[in-house]
Amino acid sequence: MNLYVINLDKDVQRLHWMQGQLTAQKLEYSRVATVDGAQLRARQDPYWSDPRRSHLGDAEIGCLLSHANAWRLITEADAEHGLVLEDDVHFSDDFGDFVRSLSLDPKELCIHKIETSYANVTLTRQPAYTVGNRRAHKLETNHSAAGAYILNKRTASYLLDYVAVFAEPVDTELFDPGRRKIKNVTIYQWVPAPCIQDCFLWRPGFDSNIGFVSNIGLDRADRRSYAVQGAQKYKDLLKTRLRPLYRKLCSAWLLQSGRMRTRIDFR
C-alpha cells in the first residue's frame, strides 16, 4: 500500500510533523502538493468558476482537487491500494502495524475511513474486516473530515469520474450519504479509529494536540451558512448534553435491524 500526504508548499512544519510520525512507524510516503484555490480564482480556472461550486471557498476547491490528484496517483501506481492523509493527522501507537496487517478487497467499490472526528454515527453491527482490536463496519450516516482514508485503484478511478460534478467539500462528497454524488460505494468505518486530525484531538485539559489551524477553517461553506447565535447556542448545548442518552436509545432501537449507534473514538 502506498501512502500519500497532501501538503501545501508553505506548510513545512506540517510536513516535518507527518514525516517524523511516519518514520517512527517505519512507513514511507509520497507528498502530494496541495492545489492553491486562490491561484485558480486569479486565473478564472474553469473548475473554480463553475456555478455548481460558486458557494465553495478557494481553500475548499483547492482541497478537493488535491485529493483528486492523490486519487490519480493511486490509479497510476503498482500497489492495489493507497492511503490518503492530510498533513495534520495524529496516529495511534500501532498505526504502522495496522497498515501493514491490512488485507483488503482490491475489487470492491469502497472507501475505508480510518479517522474520527468523535462523531456519533450509525454502523452495521457485524464487522466486515478485523485487524487486531480494530473492526471495519459499514457506515450508514455522515462522518465529516477526510484526513485519512484508503482507496483501491478501482475506487480511485471511479471517484475521478465524478470530480467534474462534485459541488460540495471533499469530505461531504465522500462521506455524507445524503449529499454526495457518488453512488454504490460502500463506506467502511474502522473502530476504534487509528487516526485523528489535530483540530479534533483537543479537549479541555488535554494538550496533546499540536495546534495546527485548519487551512479551510471558517472559509468552509457549511460554516458560513450556519451562524450560531442567540437561542441556537442553547439548543446546541442541550443537544450535546442529551446526545449520550439519545445514542443509547437509538442503538437499542436499531438492534433488530442489525445496526448500532455509536461514537467513534481514537486510540
* pLDDT the model gives residue 76: 98
Give the distance, in angstroms, between the CA of residue 129 and the centroid of all CA atoms in the same chain: 19
Q: Exposure pattern of 152-184 as b/e (b: 16+ CB <10 Å)?
A: bbbbbebbeeebeebbbbbbbbbbbeeebebee
The pLDDT > 90 percentage for the chain reads 78
Mean pLDDT of the chain: 88
Q: Is the pLDDT of residue 202 over 80?
A: no
Separation between Cα atoms, residue 3 and residue 24, nearest integer Å: 15
User: Which structural domain range is residue 67 located in?
Assistant: 2-263
- Read off the pLDDT of each residue in 90-112 and give the average, rounded to a whole number: 98
Query: Count of domains in the chain?
Result: 1
Q: Is the pLDDT of residue 227 over 90?
A: no
At 242, list the grid cell: 442529551
Q: Is the pLDDT of residue 185 over 90?
A: yes
Q: Is the pLDDT of residue 237 over 50?
A: no
* pLDDT the model gives residue 251: 60
* pLDDT the model gives residue 45: 96
* pLDDT the model gives residue 214: 62
* pLDDT digits 0-9 by tens, 52-86: 999 999 999 999 999 999 999 999 999 999 999 99
Q: What is the pTM assigned to this prediction?
A: 0.86
